[in-house]
Chains A and B, each alone.
Chain A
Amino acid sequence: MEITKLSAIELRDEILKRNLSCYEVAKAFIDNIKKYESYNAVLEIFDDALQNAKVMDKKIAEGFNGKLAGMPVIIKDNILYQDKICSCGSNFLKNYKAEYNSTVVKKLIDEGAIILGRANMDEFAMGSSTENSAFGITHNPIAFDRVPGGSSGGSACAVALDMCPISLGTETGGSVRQPASYCGIYGLKPTYGRISRYGVVAFASSLDQVGIFSKTIEDNALMLEVLAGYDENDETSAKVKVDNYTNLDDAIKTKIGVPIEILNMTKGLECEKNFKNFIEFLKQLNLEIVPVSIKNIELALATYYILAPAEATSNLARFDGVKYTSRSLAAKNLQEIYKQSRSQGFGKEVKRRIMLGNYVLSSGYYDAYYNKAKSVQGLLIEQCNEAFKKCDVLVMPTTLGEAYKIGSKPSDPVETYKEDVFTVTANIVGSPSLSIPFGKGKNNLPLGIQLFGKKFDEKTIYSLAKFIQNNIK
């Protein structure tokens, strides 16, 4: 059997049956990371990964049977793993070593996962292509001259190229779903509050969530089952019962809502035909399709690009040249330390968003932009709640089309921001959304469809995805 082609659950089961050792499994995936080094998906292979795998083999021999026993995982470079570098794809943090474990890393370790390394990302998760990392561009796993999507492009590429069976990314406006779509895999953005954000470097705290990349639904669901739950270290994590996500329901009675505004927004785009094909496919499966309306969804992109930079401006104020590793050597006084350290440490896109955040929060503009955006957020929440009275799951495309060529976007930043047009709504309203691979574009590259669920109802979208997965085969 080829180890790196097995799913995460198959690997764990083979390991627990002692047919495979954690060591040989970790070694096989690390060999793949090295083999595909030119894709620049992984910034660092942790030097203790193989040793940890050996220790896990002993524990398993002594009876340990964690849900992720021996499962190799790669984490995005903004998730703290104690004593390991966590650079957020930024020069500012290139020497920063995590002082503690994030809650997600603690849960991975407690259940027996072997964390192999950290994945490349757009600097501070700001971007949709992984072209904005201080440590080089990550390449698309299927077409080397194209982007893998972003900001969690490294994590997505790593799963698609069998560097690990499952990986973690983070989302603020689509940073898991969009790269999942471009790389032809599954990517979940859970409900806001479903997974603890403790120890995950903040971008926009009211929108951020840890997300999961996998090649199968079952793997994704198992990982959510492990990571979900209340954490007193994150007061925004929810005290909502964690479902048994691995025991999926029959999805035949799932009611599907198609937002009529989305049909309009896809007109003329590459995703238009594929989205229509998807709806036809659902009809053939005898699923009930109902039209719904999310009247203000066309304002979601503007809303997002006000709220996210506003929060980023505050969150990134902590990088001041005093606390986190980088300080300008030339600075003579405190003001110079702030300005020079930040100017030298941050890349262009990060600076742009800090500036935009300060603009929308500054006196004279605060009501016109920030407060207005918060009001539109309220409208979108109400409109989604109304839509969910008629259906269980909303469907929409994940991206405009296939992965685009590296360096092909015009210099106008808004052209790149438009990539997020279909993904930001889930973050704004706090809903879970799963991108599933469905269809191909004009260059035979993967496209994705989002299954967008009610809050804390990941189980329904997983069940539907499983039903679709079974029927595509």
Chain B
Amino acid sequence: MDLKEIQHLAELSKLEFSKEELENFALDFASLVSLADKIKNANVKSNRVLSSIDLKDLREDDVKESLPTKTVLKNAPVAKKDSFVVPRVVE
């Protein structure tokens, strides 16, 4: 995998790397992809996707009490007036 592709993955992952780190990742990735590639040998007829839960078991979609806003905001790096604060996004 080339550095450009690794850089693209970093962008998707919202991660930043130095050039040296990216080069190391490229080495790791060769090995990781060769492990993942073993799956290609599997003889599977259909691409069935399994769900871990039975959808009919889901509870009713009722509005219930959840954590108070103040509690949720306790761990926010910056919060103001019941909201998380981020730099202005729309000019």
Contact = CB atoms under 8 A, between A and B. Distances in A.
Contacts of B6: 355
Category for how many chain A residues contact B: 35 or more
Given A369-B36, A372-B40, A97 B28 contact: no
A97 B35 contact: no
A342 B78 contact: no
Contact of B67 (A99, A331, A356): A99
B75 A340 contact: no
Given A322-B84, A342-B14, A359-B29, A236 B53 contact: yes
B13 A354 contact: yes
Interface string B1-37: 0000010011011111100000001001101111111
Interface string A328-363: 000111110111101100100001101110111010
Interface in A289-343: 296, 299, 301-303, 305-306, 313, 317, 320-327, 331-335, 337-340, 342-343
A360 B8 CA distance: 13
Interface residues of B, number: 47
Interface stretch (A135-143, A152-160, A412-420): A412-420
B32 A327 contact: no
Given A362-B12, A375-B42, A302 B31 contact: no
A218 B14 CA distance: 46
Given A192-B52, A359-B29, A343 B17 contact: yes
Contact of B76 (A205, A323, A346): A323
Given A99-B67, A414-B31, A372 B39 contact: yes
Contact of B48 (A96, A342, A362, A378): A378
A235 B47 CA distance: 25
Interface of A is mostly: helix
A416 B40 CA distance: 22
Contact of B77 (A306, A327, A334): A327
Nearest to B48: A378
B86 interface: yes
B35 A305 contact: yes
Contact of A375 (B34, B38, B47, B78): B47
Interface string A394-425: 00000000000000000011100100000000
Nearest to B60: A232
Contacts of A414: 31-32, 34-35
B63 interface: no
- B10, B28, B39, B57: residue with the most chain A Cβ atoms closer than 10 Å: B39
Contact of B39 (A99, A303, A346, A412): A303
A212 B47 CA distance: 35
Contacts of A320: 14
A322 B77 CA distance: 6
Interface in A171-219: 192-193, 205-206
Contacts of A351: 13, 15, 17
B39 A306 contact: yes
Contacts of B9: 355, 358-359, 362
A239 interface: yes
A305 B36 contact: yes
B31 A412 contact: yes
A413 B32 contact: yes
A367 B52 contact: no
B83 to A, nearest CB: 10
Interface in B36-74: 36-42, 44, 46-50, 52-53, 57-59, 67, 71-72, 74
A378 B50 contact: yes
Given A296-B42, A325-B77, A100 B67 contact: yes
Contacts of A342: 13-15
Interface string A78-109: 00000000000000000011011000000000
Contacts of A205: 52
Given A99-B71, A356-B29, 5 more contacts: A192-B52, A302-B35, A322-B77, A340-B16, A375-B47
Interface of A: 96-97, 99-100, 192-193, 205-206, 232, 235-236, 239, 296, 299, 301-303, 305-306, 313, 317, 320-327, 331-335, 337-340, 342-343, 346, 351-352, 354-356, 358-360, 362, 367-369, 371-379, 381, 412-414, 417, 430
Q: Which 5 A-B residue pairings sit nearest by Cβ, starting from the closest? A: A327-B77, A302-B38, A375-B44, A206-B52, A338-B14
